[in-house]
Chain A
Amino acid sequence: AQSVTQLDSQVPVFEEAPVELRCNYSSSVSVYLFWYVQYPNQGLQLLLKYLSGSTLVESINGFEAEFNKSQTSFHLRKPSVHISDTAEYFCAVSEVRGGGNKLTFGTGTQLKVEL
């Protein structure tokens, strides 16, 4: 069965500093990978995705993630964070089995950006 591990439950960082949120997954088949962001009292928003092709994917607001098959990782990075990046970030993995598409989420990482 697929699973996702986000080792860091909270990551405090100062504004304009770089950040990396770690995500590891396990699966017996090929996967699709996603990062979602959740702001307080809101639903989850898709941040970026890896379906195929280039292993480095980028979002419009400066985040990037790299799919590493050998290490089964999909870490999220940003070279310089802003106060507005404070939110909870969820890594998710999807397998396609028998036409189903179960999207499994990690436990989330709370990113807190401080001045």
Chain B
Amino acid sequence: DSGVTQTPKHLITATGQRVTLRCSPRSGDLSVYWYQQSLDQGLQFLIQYYNGEERAKGNILERFSAQQFPDLHSELNLSSLELGDSALYFCASSVGPGTEAFFGQGTRLTVV
């Protein structure tokens, strides 16, 4: 158990819908990262927050947004969902920049 908690574990939704994925980092970790893993794209970095502020941005679509709350949990919002958004979404946390990240078990999103 990495200490990073992601909910829900599985999510099935229809195209055009909006979903929210939730992540609770390890106790004491200030950085949260979101990744998307799919068969054709591999593991793609989406976005990173540090103590509530956005710090780095990767290949995140405009239909996707995220935030980190004062209690340090984070949410990834995916809207206007398309079939191609079906993937595993991982959250990871670390103490801060330059340290290793610990991953949650992921949320498997299926868009039908």
Contacts and interface: CB of A to CB of B under 8 A. Distances in A.
A48 B47 CA distance: 23
Nearest to B101: A103
Contacts of A43: 2, 4, 90, 103-106
A101 B42 CA distance: 20
A90 to B, nearest CB: 6
A25 interface: no
Interface stretch (B12-20, B48-56, B68-76, B77-85): B48-56
A105 B96 contact: no
B24 interface: no
Q: Which of A32, A90, A99 has the most CB of B within 10 A?
A: A99
B interface majority secondary structure: strand
Contacts of B48: 100-102
Contacts of B45: 102-105
A44 B103 CA distance: 6
Contact of B103 (A45, A98, A100): A45
B56 A94 contact: no
A103 B98 contact: no
Chain A interface bracket (under 10, 10 to 19, 20 to 34, 35 or more): 20 to 34
B20 to A, nearest CB: 19
Given A105-B43, A108-B42, A99 B55 contact: yes
Nearest to B97: A101
A105 B38 CA distance: 13
A100 B92 CA distance: 14
B58 interface: yes
Contacts of B97: 94, 96, 99-101
A102 B105 contact: no
Interface of A: 32, 34, 36, 42-46, 49, 51, 90, 94, 96-105, 107-108
Interface of B: 2, 4, 31, 33, 35, 42-43, 45, 48, 50, 55-56, 58, 90, 92, 94, 96-106
11 contacts: A43-B90, A43-B106, A90-B43, A94-B98, A96-B97, A100-B50, A101-B56, A101-B96, A102-B48, A102-B56, A103-B33
